[in-house]
């Protein structure tokens, strides 16, 4: 696959200069191919394949015949040059979706892979011309990984177009080269296999010198990852399905607004989505992306692992002599989830707290398509959870779904990116959990035995966070703890564990800023602690 670097921006923004600097700095002139969609005042230092902007402007992603000849021309050029990298200077008045249609066409999809998208702009352009250029220019800005500008005075405006982009001011060629390095997410599964192979070799050669605790740690890490992979994959597939194929009007009809119907649906959704707490986090992000209010999405995320049929059955199995534990876990867990969600409803996070979150946008291809194709007059109502009001947002996402503009190639690329990121975060969390399970858990359990009943509640809340047991099997651990701790403290363990633990924090950190996670965690801990204390008093 040829790595593709795309440089976009209005004419005169310095696209040709940047490309020339990169070719010289990276010392890959001989292995680089160039494509230019406009003729600027600065000549490229290597002869490019020049594309006619008028022909490019006629590209319609829904009609393959509109770009089939252009894609064949590019494929022939690449076959002739045989480059390792391809740099594309894209016309500032063309939509990004039109370039995607070319690169993901049947002639090119197996040849190229987009690595980075750069957008160049000046302060004067942002303040005067950008608002007037329409959807095509906005789609370029919206799809950029890196935005290069002159100063930070328009950062807020740029983030309003693209919350995820890395904004850099007057970078050097070295800075741009560093930011354009290839993503390593695709290497993560290979690295895990290499680590497993290395461990087996070390154990084979030095089996008598390796402490038993090291074997335990590695066994726990491997077991957690193997156990989690099906759930992470299921969550990724489900999240992708929601993003690409579930019409927004259906989601907003079921979960939009702040009616009791929305909250009730969010609380009961886990009955038909039997996934664990690991897999529910990508679904939470997908709902936020599709316009579901933040508080309703939080309730969905927190309640689903509790109401999961597998969780219910495992709890009943763990406490066969006291089936009311299962009932209390469901009722109290749903109550905690509802209280926490309502706290975000009536005191929503400040916009600055969510700044940098991917909640308001994502560089995924379907959103660039929907933005690029949104003409005036086609709107839908989207709820703004921060203000409690509704806003009008241009969107043709539903039309895109119906017309199958999203190819299997795009879907697989999206799932690969999200799954490998989740796997990385989960692997880090699994390593921390394994170390704690082997070295810290025995100390914590022995220390908690002699504590007063009320003091055991925070101890088991901490244990729930650190143990990071899957919500579908944590009841088995809870049964073991019930022989050492009061039942009220064990109930706190059973409620908090599925909602917030180490692996959940790592997975959430991929999507939301640390300030949001801190607030969610503290609210959960306080609410769960008070609920466990109340339950302790009720059963005494």
b vs e for 405-416, b when ≥16 Cβ sit within 10 Å of the residue's Cβ?
Answer: bbbeebbebbbe
Is the pLDDT score of 389 beyond 90?
A: no
Residue 524 has pLDDT above 90, yes or no: yes
Higher pLDDT, 469 or 507: 507
Q: pLDDT: is 89 or 238 the higher one? A: 89
Q: pLDDT, tens digit, for every residue of 110-150? A: 888 888 899 998 888 888 888 777 777 788 888 888 899 98
| pLDDT range class, residue 375, cuts 50, 70, 90 | very low
Q: Which of 29-43, 77-91, 261-275 has the highest mean pLDDT?
A: 77-91
Could you tell me the domains of the chain?
2-181 (3.40.50.300), 196-356+407-539 (no CATH)
Strands (E), 395-501: none
Average model confidence (pLDDT) across the chain: 76
List pLDDT tens digits, range 165-204.
888 898 888 888 887 765 544 555 666 677 777 777 777 7
Nearest to 5 by CA among 89, 110, 120: 89
Please provide the DSSP assignment of 140-151 as one string: HHHH-SEEEES-
pLDDT in tens, 286-304: 788 777 888 998 998 999 8
Proportion of the chain above pLDDT 70, given as a percent: 74
- pLDDT of 534: 93
* pLDDT, position 380: 38
pLDDT at 443: 67
Query: In the structure, what pLDDT confidence band is assigned to residue 348 with cuts at 50, 70 and 90?
Result: confident
Which secondary structure element, helix H or strand E, spans residue 86, and what is its range? strand 85-89
Q: Contact 45/20 with Cβ under 8 angstroms?
A: yes
For residue 81, how many other CB atoms are within 10 A of its CB?
15
Instruction: Tell me, yes or no, if the pTM score tops 0.85.
Output: no
* Contacting residues for 8 by C-beta, under 8 A, at least 6 apart: 15, 90, 92, 96, 117, 118, 119, 120, 140, 144
Bigger pLDDT: 11 vs 310: 11
Token look-up 């930070």 returns: 152
Reported as a single tens digit per residue, the pLDDT across 55-66 is 888 888 778 888
**Helices of type H across 147-211:** 155-161, 173-179, 188-206
Task: Say if residues 218 and 199 touch (Cβ distance below 8 Å).
Answer: yes
Task: State residue 523's pLDDT score.
Answer: 95
């Amino acid at each position: 696959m040829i790595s593709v670097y795309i440089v976009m921006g209005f004419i005169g923004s310095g696209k040709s200069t940047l490309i020339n600097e990169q070719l010289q700095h990276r010392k890959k002139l001989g292995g680089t191919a160039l494509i230019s969609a406009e003729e600027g005042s600065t000549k490229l230092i290597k002869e490019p394949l020049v594309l006619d902007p008028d022909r490019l402007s006629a590209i319609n992603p829904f009609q393959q015949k509109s770009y089939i000849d252009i894609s064949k021309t590019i494929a022939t050029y690449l076959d002739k040059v045989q480059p390792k990298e391809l740099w594309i200077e894209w016309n500032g008045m063309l939509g990004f979706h039109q370039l995607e249609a070319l690169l993901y066409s049947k002639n090119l999809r197996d040849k190229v892979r987009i690595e980075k998208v750069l957008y160049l702009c000046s302060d004067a352009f942002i303040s005067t011309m950008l608002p007037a250029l329409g959807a095509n220019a906005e789609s370029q800005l919206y799809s950029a990984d890196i935005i290069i500008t002159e100063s930070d005075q328009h950062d807020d405006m740029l983030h309003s177009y693209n919350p995820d982009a890395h904004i850099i001011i007057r970078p050097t060629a070295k800075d741009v080269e560093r930011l354009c390095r290839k993503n390593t997410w695709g290497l993560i599964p290979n690295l895990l296999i290499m680590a497993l192979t290395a461990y087996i070799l070390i154990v084979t050669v030095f089996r008598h010198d390796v402490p038993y605790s090291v074997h335990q740690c590695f066994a726990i890490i491997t077991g957690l990852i193997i156990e989690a992979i099906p759930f992470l994959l299921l969550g990724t597939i489900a999240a992708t399905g929601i993003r690409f194929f579930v019409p927004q009007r259906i989601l907003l009809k079921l979960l939009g607004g702040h009616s009791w119907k929305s909250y009730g649906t969010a609380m009961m959704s886990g009955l038909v989505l039997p996934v664990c707490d690991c897999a529910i986090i990508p679904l939470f992000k997908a709902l936020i992306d599709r316009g579901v209010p933040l508080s309703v999405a939080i309730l969905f995320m927190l309640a689903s692992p509790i109401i999961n049929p597998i969780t219910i059955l495992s709890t009943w199995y763990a406490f066969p002599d006291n089936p009311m534990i299962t009932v209390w876990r469901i009722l109290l867990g749903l109550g905690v989830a509802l209280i926490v969600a309502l706290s975000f409803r009536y005191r929503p996070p400040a916009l600055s707290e969510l700044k940098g979150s991917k909640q308001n946008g994502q560089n995924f291809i379907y959103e660039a398509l929907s933005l690029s194709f949104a003409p005036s007059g086609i709107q839908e109502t989207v709820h703004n959870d921060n203000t409690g009001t509704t806003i009008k947002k241009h969107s043709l996402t539903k039309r895109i779904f119906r017309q199958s503009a999203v190819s299997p190639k795009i879907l697989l690329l999206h799932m690969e990116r999200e799954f490998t990121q989740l796997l990385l975060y989960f692997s880090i969390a699994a390593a921390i959990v394994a170390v704690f399970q082997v070295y810290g858990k025995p100390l914590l359990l022995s220390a908690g035995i002699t504590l007063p009943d009320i003091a055991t509640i925070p101890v088991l809340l901490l244990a729930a966070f650190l143990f990071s047991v899957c919500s579908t099997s944590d009841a088995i651990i809870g049964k073991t703890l019930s022989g050492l701790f009061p039942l009220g403290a064990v109930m706190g363990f059973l409620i908090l564990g599925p909602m917030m633990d180490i692996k959940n924090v790592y997975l959430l950190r991929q999507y939301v800023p640390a300030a949001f996670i801190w607030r969610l965690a503290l609210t959960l801990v306080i609410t769960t602690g008070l609920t466990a204390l109340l339950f302790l008093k009720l059963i005494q």
